[in-house]
Amino acid sequence: MIPEKEITIYDIAKSLNISAATVSRGLKDHPGISKLTKKRIFDAAKDMGYRFNSLASNLRRQRTNTIGVIVPRLNSSFMSDAIAGMEQVANQAGYNLIISQSLETVKKEVENSLTMFNNRVDGLLVSLAYNTQDISHFEAFIKKGIPVIFFDRIFEHIKCPNIIIDNYQAGYEITKHLIAEGGRRIMHVSGNQSRNVYSERFRGYRDALEEFNLPFSDELLIVNNLTALEGIETAVQILSMEKKPEAVFVSNDTCAVACMLELKKQGIKIPEDISFAGFNNDPIAKVVEPNLTTINYHGEEMGELAANILIRHLTNNLEIGPAHTTVLGHELIVRQSSTKKII
């Protein structure tokens, strides 16, 4: 196949006996070009099969109208909602989204950020990998004034706006709820404690226990990767406990549901023997029996907001920093209720 020559604004200019500059302006609907000329330009462009070359334009303008997105995984209910939200806002505003996943490793996060950097993204939306401890790989962006915005799994940095929910408060509320339902011995299953979302929820849990003078011991905390498989392992662990907990607060729904189902299979009654609470309000939470008490978390809204904040920065050429943290709302959704209420 012989690729036809690409039509450029020069070709249009030549065919109309005007300059390329005029064609460029005409196509951009520049005010200082006569209606007639514009019409002729558009017509010729259409006739000749012209296609705008973003690459050349990007190179010249030093901008790409592209937003980079780096997330741990694309395929979780929360994350795909968040990305769907971003896409809508970005698309609306004329930005493209380049998306990559770190697969929970710092190594890929670093590599991906470098690619984004070289590809000259105009800004970055990031949710950090499990074990990212420092964010020096984003310094290059910050130094260049390219906005980096963290959402959900964040890092406190003077130059990077954050978007989160109040994980501490959510952890506190849900634990308090479990206590109100009669739980005295309440377990917590959490993720990597160096990640804000998990450590904050844990802190909320701890504080709720303390407030009600309930003892905490290491036996009550399990830290894993919150997968379904580890939910089952957790169930096994619970079954082997001398003194079983009356309630379990798991830091995500996937793991909570897996754990619940395994315990049910082994004859434990939920919520009578052990009641459960999760986090995220994934679709499975409203389907499992009994339905799972959880924290609702607006993924799509968070994605939209992140994109909106970024685009506002880009549009107004705002200096980044000092960091601004936006806290989105969440809701405790009570779905399990044991019969032994105390409070």
Partner DNA sequence: TTGTAGGCGTTATCAC
Partner DNA sequence: GTGATAACGCCTACAA
2 sits in the region (left: phi over 0; alpha: psi -120 to 50; else beta) called beta
The dihedral built from the CA positions of residue 295, 301, 303 and 309, taken in this order, carries a sign that is negative
Asked if 315 is part of the footprint of DNA (rule: CB under 7 A), the reply reads no
HSE of 307 in the Cβ direction (CA atoms, 13 Å)?
28
Asked if 288 is part of the footprint of its own copies (rule: CB under 8 A), the reply reads yes
Asked if 27 is part of the footprint of DNA (rule: CB under 7 A), the reply reads yes
Asked if 83 is part of the footprint of its own copies (rule: CB under 8 A), the reply reads yes
Asked if 335 is part of the footprint of its own copies (rule: CB under 8 A), the reply reads no
The dihedral built from the CA positions of residue 154, 158, 159 and 165, taken in this order, carries a sign that is positive
What is the β-pairing status of strands 330-333 and 294-297?
antiparallel
Between residues 53 and 133, which has the closer beta carbon with respect to its own copies? Answer: 53
DSSP β-bridge partners for residue 297: 330
Kindly write out the interface string for residues 206-245 of this chain, putting x where it contacts its own copies by CB under 8 A and - elsewhere: ----------------------------------------
Tokens for 301, please give them: 């809204």
Give me the phi and psi of 101, to 5 degrees please: -115, 140
Residues touching DNA, count (CB under 7 A): 28
DSSP 3-state helix, strand, coil percentages of the chain (rounded to 5)? 45, 15, 40
> Is the CB of residue 33 less than 8 Å from the CB of residue 26?
yes
Of residues 304, 181, 299, 326, the one with CA closest to residue 245: 181
DSSP 8-state class, residue 3 = P
Among 17, 118, 213, 316, binds its own copies (CB under 8 A): 118
Is 54 strand, coil or helix?
helix
Please state, in angstroms and rounded to a whole number, the distance separating the CA atoms of residues 26 and 293: 59
Asked if 319 is part of the footprint of its own copies (rule: CB under 8 A), the reply reads yes
* Minimum CB distance to its own copies, residue 214 (Å): 30
Asked if 3 is part of the footprint of its own copies (rule: CB under 8 A), the reply reads yes
Kindly write out the interface string for residues 61-100 of this chain, putting x where it contacts DNA by CB under 7 A and - elsewhere: xx--------------------------------------
Asked if 59 is part of the footprint of DNA (rule: CB under 7 A), the reply reads yes
Of residues 97, 156, 144, 63, the one with CA closest to residue 319: 144
Asked if 84 is part of the footprint of its own copies (rule: CB under 8 A), the reply reads yes
Asked if 46 is part of the footprint of DNA (rule: CB under 7 A), the reply reads no
CA dist 106 to 83, 130, 133, Å?
A: 20, 8, 9
Among 1, 2, 3, 17, binds DNA (CB under 7 A): 17
Residues 126-145 touching its own copies, rule: CB under 8 A, are 140, 144-145
321 sits in the region (left: phi over 0; alpha: psi -120 to 50; else beta) called left
Contacts (Cβ under 8 Å, ≥6 apart) of 48: 7, 11, 12, 15
Kindly write out the interface string for residues 88-117 of this chain, putting x where it contacts its own copies by CB under 8 A and - elsewhere: x--x----xxxxxx-x----x---x--x-x
| Stretch of 3-11, 81-89, 124-132, 178-186 lying at the interface with DNA (CB under 7 A) | 3-11
Tokens for 190, please give them: 């959490």
* Minimum CB distance to its own copies, residue 65 (Å): 9
Between residues 207 and 301, which has the closer beta carbon with respect to its own copies? Answer: 301
Point out which residues bind DNA (CB under 7 A). 6, 8-10, 17-22, 24-25, 27-28, 32-34, 36-37, 50, 52-53, 56-57, 59-62
Point out which residues bind its own copies (CB under 8 A). 1, 3-4, 51-56, 58-59, 64, 66, 73-77, 79-81, 83-84, 87-88, 91, 96-101, 103, 108, 112, 115, 117-120, 140, 144-145, 254, 257, 261, 282-284, 287-289, 299-300, 319
